Chains A and B, each alone.
Chain A
């Protein structure tokens, strides 16, 4: 009974930690694809920095998972098939243009702000403590991506058009942020994890008001697309292949 949890609860929490870790890892990888290609040198450094931070958060969640199940984080990252990944589709979509990547990170950061705040209050201590630490850093990410989203939306005709296009493309994928996996409600009942559907309107209203204020048209529907976390787009296998390429050259090698 690690952390005073029954086997069943332990498995459920481990499952949720894997989802959180995979989201961070994949968004981090997508952001890192801008390294060397961002619009200006300073922004290149800044966005690579954010990507590295998200990778650090992924490591935090993989380690928490490891302390529950004994699984090796490196094995999870480098030797799992794409179909075994549990990230949401929002983070695996190709990086697109600068507007797309900035808006995706903004929507993700807004969710993290809402989610981490709730996670801090939950009774699974290792996650609550980590959330408290990560939340400060996320405030900075949000400030950075918000600054860009505002400037692009309020900038030229072209930047505004691209930002609107990015929003139209990303919006249908957003509900997966707060979609629950099977059995998750049991964790919510015992306050081990935050109530995701209850966070949804908090996130949505806040995003809506920020984006509407800068003249973007937020689609008025909430996508009815039901996506489970074992469903992925055609883009994930290619990403995973690149991510695992070096580790798989010589499995078990010591760095």
Chain B
């Protein structure tokens, strides 16, 4: 059983490091095809960013359709639900830091995935979020995510042939090859 956030606060740090044997978590974003936005597909554990990218490929690109893969350390991705934003609006930060580039993701409804909507230059991730929230108000998105461009590790275009193309030619990786739906109908019909 993983410790809840409340439990963690009660325990000394040395205890957490002794019991938490998991490697750091990385969020994974996948672009299926040209013209489609990168979508959040899940997360992987990895010892470091390079292994995270490789693990993301093996866990999420077993089936074809992938052009591009991004990973980012989970701790660097700011997630905010619509409820959180309503109860705790993002503060307007006005410190004099220089602007950085952020990637903004948004989930427009419960049926849609969390997808990349664009880059924002801002003084912080919260400022980038505040900026994006103002821009897209209707319909109200259910979830937002913001991550610094510097925290994102991307697959390289020249790696496409070895990373993604092989999966396309493996018909055993394509669900249409397996007559599951037909078999279920047959069984149900008996």
A and B: real partners? yes
B162 touches A136 (CB 8 A): yes
**B16 at interface by CB-CB < 8 Å:** no
Q: Is A126 an interface residue (CB 8 A)?
A: no
In the complex, are the beta carbons of B162 and A137 less than 8 A apart?
yes
**Least Cβ–Cβ distance between B153 and chain A, in angstroms:** 13
The A interface is mostly helix, strand or loop, or mixed, namely helix
Hey, what's the 0/1 contact readout for B22-51 against A, CB within 8 Å counting as 1?
010000000000000000000011111011
- Chain B contact residues: helix, strand, loop or mixed: helix
Instruction: Give the residues in chain B near A151, CB-CB below 8 Å.
Output: 47-48, 51
- Report the count of interface residues on A (CB-CB < 8 A): 19
Contact of B58 among A45, A133, A138 (CB under 8 A): A45
| Chain B residues within an 8 Å CB radius of A56 | 170
Q: A136-B161, A139-B162 are in contact. Are A46 and B54 (CB under 8 A)?
A: yes
A160: shortest Cβ distance to chain B, in Å?
A: 16
Q: Confirm or deny: A43 has a beta carbon within 8 angstroms of a beta carbon on chain B.
A: yes
B169 at the interface (CB under 8 A from A): yes
Report the interface size class on chain B: 20 to 34
* Pair A42/B50 contact, Cβ less than 8 Å: no
A40 contact set on B, CB distance < 8 A? 23, 45
B62, A42: Cβ atoms under 8 Å?
A: no
The stretch that binds B, out of A98-106, A140-148, A209-217, is: A140-148
> Chain A nearest CB: distance from B179 CB in Å?
13
Pairwise interchain contact B162-A140, C-beta atoms closer than 8 A: yes
With a cutoff of 8 Å between Cβ atoms, the chain A residues found around residue B62 in the complex are: 45, 49
Chain A residue numbers with a CB within 8 Å of B162 are 136-140, 143
